[in-house]
Structure 1
Amino acid sequence: MSQRLVTGDSAPDFTLSDAEGNGVTLSSLRGRKVVVYFYPAAATPGCTTEACDFRDNLASLDAAGYSVLGISPDPVGKLASFVEKESLTFPLLSDEDHGVAEAYGAWGEKKNYGKTYEGLIRSTVVVDEAGDVALAQYNVRATGHVAKLRRDLGIDE
């Protein structure tokens, strides 16, 4: 299992393709706080709930100085369909080889219906303006996660 990040760690830099195939680099967002959330698969019920929740709270997150990046192992084409269908207004990034998820501790052993396998662990890492981890949450629930995150970050509801 990959090592989980903790507050104060330097956030691993990355460049991944968004739904349009454009490269997005974490370090290009320095000077701004970034919510990096990892989700298992686009267009599944839990991931749709979480993505729409981020979409619906994006204005208040942005007003508080946060950008949002969603990362999954989905290919760019699947992300493009998901963005269009759900009218998502923040970048979704493709991490098909799950290298970034591993670097962030968001890839590892999971259990489902008695079976153990390797997969993406629903996680959120908040990166501060200097590129360090301000908050790391693992095994988060899709429903209600954004509201909890807003409370944890002190963003008024």
Structure 2
Amino acid sequence: MARPSIDFGEHTASIAAAVRARREELGRSRTEFAQQTPKIPPRLLQDLESGRRSRYSRDLCAKLEFKLGWTRGSIERMASGGDPEEVNDLISVVRDESQGTETRRYLLGNEELLQRIYTDLQADTADMPEEEARALVEQALETARVQALLVVHRARRRRMSGNGALH
């Protein structure tokens, strides 16, 4: 089964320009931006910013929206001729260059939950060697991501089968 994607169509050039301009506004080189969490393949970013391709996975678009500080669905709106929407409940952005991470705090929303998980994990691994602690934090966050995807996929299957009630 093909991964869900977004076709930029006739708006490919304007989306490419908007993504590049926003990345530059954030003060990141293409390589730095691609390697910043959540990571994206540098080649895909280069293809997108140059308008070389017009179809990208929804997963990549969601990562870009997060990294660019745009609300979810902004790129799809742009593919229909609309404008990106900036996240307006952002409280702060903390970059840790040594770790290659960026933590965003939001007034409301799921990102606050992720921040709490990350902070709790850091506190619980404070007495461990740094490499071991980092590996455990990454493993725990990946487990949380996989569990979240399972919840979404189960709900989608229930909805498609006609039983929209969540259990």
TM bucket, shorter chain:
under 0.3
Normalising by structure 1, report the TM-score: 0.26
Higher share of residues assigned strand: 1
RCO higher in structure (CA 8 A, sep ≥6): 1
Which protein is bigger by CA-based radius of gyration?
2
